[in-house]
Copies of this chain bind each other. A is one copy, B any other.
């Protein structure tokens, strides 16, 4: 028997409110089973939540995240579909590589700024 989770449990784990978790369900991002009224979440739902959170950290909208999750889930059998699928993956890779470049630029600027500051600081403190 596989593990299950309650809504409050998952919400706490990912640092969001239960409202948020239910909202993701409305959006079709997760589909817990029910036990009477209560929502029961599977490990699979938990993985999806993890993907959602990562997507959000990367600045994606919930709709975009939904598409990506569909990507993971889908299992294209037709050759045509498979080709389209590869295209989507490559597009996504391009976007990610662009973001990575943005981040690396920002990081190197931050490092430059930090260096300047540290140097300035040591000057001020020795001349004191």
Contact = CB atoms under 8 A, between A and B. Distances in A.
Interface of A: 54, 57-60, 71-72, 76, 79, 82-83, 85-86, 89-90, 92-93, 96-100, 102-107, 110-111, 113-114, 117-118, 120-121, 124-125
A22 to B, nearest CB: 23
A30 B102 CA distance: 21
A102 to B, nearest CB: 5
Copies of this protein in the complex:
2
Give the secondary structure class of A's interface: helix
B59 A58 contact: yes
Contacts of A96: 103, 106-107, 110
A82 B119 CA distance: 11
